[in-house]
Amino acid sequence: MQKRELGRGLEVSAMGFGCMGMSFGDNKTSPVSHDDAVAILRRAVETGITFFDTAEVYGPWTNEELVGEALAPFKGEVVIATKFGWRIDPQATPPMRGFDSSPARIRKVAEDSLRRLRVDCIDLFYQHRVDPAVPIEDVAGTVRDLIAEGKVKHFGLSEAGAATIRRAHAVQPVTALQSEYSLWTRDIEGEILPTLEELGIGLVPFSPLGKGFLTGTIAADTHFGEGDIRAGIPRFHGEAHAHNMRLVELLGDIARSKGATTGQIALAWLLALKPWIVPIPGTTRMHRMEENAAATAISLGADDMARIEAAAAAVPIEGTRYPPAMMALVER
């Protein structure tokens, strides 16, 4: 698999792997056993994927432990990203109980994550969400100190706005921004993508398959299990679902002409946009992981990209990507 560079000097595979769903979020709809999860992660490395994304809050904590165990045989061969920034109540659902990006909390998360991930240094350390109570300069400065101490290699932000990105970057260069970005979530295109390009910051899109919607496998009567965040996302339901499926159908036409799946076209579109974009689709199925990895071999020319853009323009997405309470946590 080809490599890409995030920021200045972080080389990763062109396709990453989002590990969250193996322990958190929507895994109850398609649960995966511990042994199967380990097998999928190790097989991902064999397919060429070297970039894995986790966070302390996923589980909480169990996802980091899973990733640490699965990837221990590949120490030095893979890049692991994790995150800080929440107060966590492990008995609550969801476990996030407000922000906490205080310097002391960042340092504690770093130490705990190093242990759970079984590594000597965190490759990429993201602030999971912007904490309005802590100046971003203090956050960036704390991570800068951890980098100087050899505990972290690179600094990242997640779902941050352009102004915050600039302020953080002035203190400690930001290697990557992680934000939701796909053919049905494009709000970062106006201001944030140009900012990243100007500053030389990579983009790591999470939910690049629209939490599974862009694969065409989610029907109007799909039942989302207890704890599945998609149960509360407006665009998955009712009239919004029926309308949004038209985009999937148009992408399916393009996919058939390329001998690909609809999901692969959605991923290949991201890869074709910029050389500094690295999607991190997640899955709990071995064949889906292999399908996602194979998307890196799909070449989309100018005509293909024009067809995809025409399809997206023909179907403006209906429904927000999160319930209102979660939308309030996204900085724009």
Rg, Å, the chain Cα set: 19
In the DSSP assignment, the letter for residue 318 is P
Inter-residue contact 109 to 81 (CB < 8 Å): no
C-beta atoms surrounding 281 within 10 Å = 28
Question: Which structure tokens are listed for 130?
Answer: 């912007």
Structure tokens at 154: 């690179």
Q: Helices (H) and strands (E) in the chain — how many of each?
A: 11, 11
Assess whether 58 carries a catalytic annotation: yes
Q: Give the active site residue among 58, 126, 181, 322.
A: 58
CB atoms near residue 238 (< 10 Å): 12
Burial 165-203 (b: 16+ CB within 10 A, else e): bebbbebbbbbbbbbbbbbbbeebeeebbebbeebebbb
Which residues, including other chains, have CB under 8 Å from residue 200's CB and lie 6 or more apart? 7, 8
Distance CA 10, CA 51 (A): 10
d(CA 196, CA 82) in angstroms, rounded, equals 20
Helices in the chain by DSSP H: which ranges? 34-47, 62-71, 103-117, 136-148, 162-171, 192-199, 238-258, 262-273, 286-294, 302-314, 324-327
* β-strands 51-53, 122-127 pairing: unpaired
Positions annotated as catalytic residues are 58
